[in-house]
């Protein structure tokens, strides 16, 4: 009876280990093949550059105020100097608040990036889901994610299947 139980456990373990299929994809590679992702990246870069230019301009204004203060310092009364320093500090606070509003956590940059990239990512994830169902995969890993894959057997790479599912596959590639 004990041997039968051990045999049952061994058989059950064998079925669990070898009964599930897995694969991996490289989403960075897939994204690089998607024109809509390239467009989104271009728009994000354009917005980012515009915001960075605004921040540089605000910084130049502050530097200019410091230069003017330094140049006129000998002519100013203590009260006037104090007022000018307060104005500069106010401008610096505005700059910090603006930087946080744009590039901080949940800032406009993050939200815009999420808005533009999420539809592309959703499209990839839907294609991955369809490939998993077609290929009867239980688990799909992302090679480009934080998961460290020290070795990957190319026969478990389903990136081309996902590209085909998205209509971006190379017609000269033969998958199978």
Q: pLDDT of 70-100, one tens digit each?
A: 999 888 899 999 999 999 999 999 999 999 9
Whether residue 10 lies inside any domain: the answer is no
Whether residue 39 lies inside any domain: the answer is yes
Q: How many domains in the chain?
A: 1
Rounded distance between C-alpha atoms, residue 141 and residue 161, angstroms: 14
**Which residues, in sequence order, are CB contacts of 69 under 8 Å at separation 6+?**
76, 81, 84, 85, 88
Whether residue 9 lies inside any domain: the answer is no
Whether residue 12 lies inside any domain: the answer is no
Q: Which of 48, 59, 47, 38 is nearest to 168 (CA)?
A: 38
Rounded distance between C-alpha atoms, residue 102 and residue 111, angstroms: 9
Whether residue 174 lies inside any domain: the answer is no
Take residue 168 and report the two structure tokens written for it: 């971006």
Weakest-pLDDT range from 18-22, 61-65, 103-107, 137-141: 18-22
pLDDT at position 155: 78
Q: Rounded to two decimals, what is the model's pTM?
A: 0.68
What is the DSSP track for 108-176?
HHHHHHHHHHHHHHHHHHHHHHHHHHHHT-SEEEETTSSS--S---GGGB-HHHHHHHTT---TT----
Residue ranges making up the domain that contains 77? 17-165
Whether residue 82 lies inside any domain: the answer is yes
Weakest-pLDDT range from 20-24, 26-30, 159-163, 164-168: 20-24
Whether residue 3 lies inside any domain: the answer is no
- Label residue 173 by pLDDT band (50, 70, 90): low
Q: pLDDT of 5-62, one tens digit each?
A: 343 344 444 445 556 788 889 999 999 999 999 999 999 999 999 999 999 999 999 9
**Which residues, in sequence order, are CB contacts of 26 under 8 Å at separation 6+?**
142, 143, 144, 157, 159
pLDDT at position 86: 96
Q: Of residues 155 and 14, which shows the higher confidence score? A: 155
What region does 169 belong to: left with phi over 0, alpha with psi -120 to 50, or beta? beta
For residue 76, which phi and psi values (nearest 5 degrees)? -90, 145
Residue 1 reports pLDDT greater than 50:
no
Residue 123 reports pLDDT greater than 70:
yes
- Label residue 145 by pLDDT band (50, 70, 90): confident
pLDDT at position 2: 47
């Amino acid at each position: 009876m004990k041997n039968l139980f051990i045999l049952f456990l061994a058989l059950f373990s064998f079925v669990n280990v070898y009964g599930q299929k897995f694969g991996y994809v490289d989403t960075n590679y897939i994204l690089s093949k998607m024109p809509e992702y390239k467009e989104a990246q271009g728009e994000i870069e354009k917005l980012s550059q515009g915001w960075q230019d605004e921040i540089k301009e605000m910084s130049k204004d502050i530097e200019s105020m410091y230069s003017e203060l330094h140049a006129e310092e000998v002519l100013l009364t203590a009260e006037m100097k104090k007022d000018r320093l307060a104005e500069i500090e106010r401008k610096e606070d505005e700059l910090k608040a603006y930087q946080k509003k744009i590039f901080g956590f949940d800032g406009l940059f993050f939200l815009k990036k999420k808005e533009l990239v999420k539809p592309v990512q959703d499209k990839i994830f839907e294609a991955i889901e369809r490939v998993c169902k077609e290929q009867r995969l239980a688990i799909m890993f992302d090679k480009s994610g934080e998961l460290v894959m020290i070795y990957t057997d190319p026969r478990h790479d389903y990136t081309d299947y996902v590209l085909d599912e998205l209509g971006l596959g190379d017609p000269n590639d033969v998958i199978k």
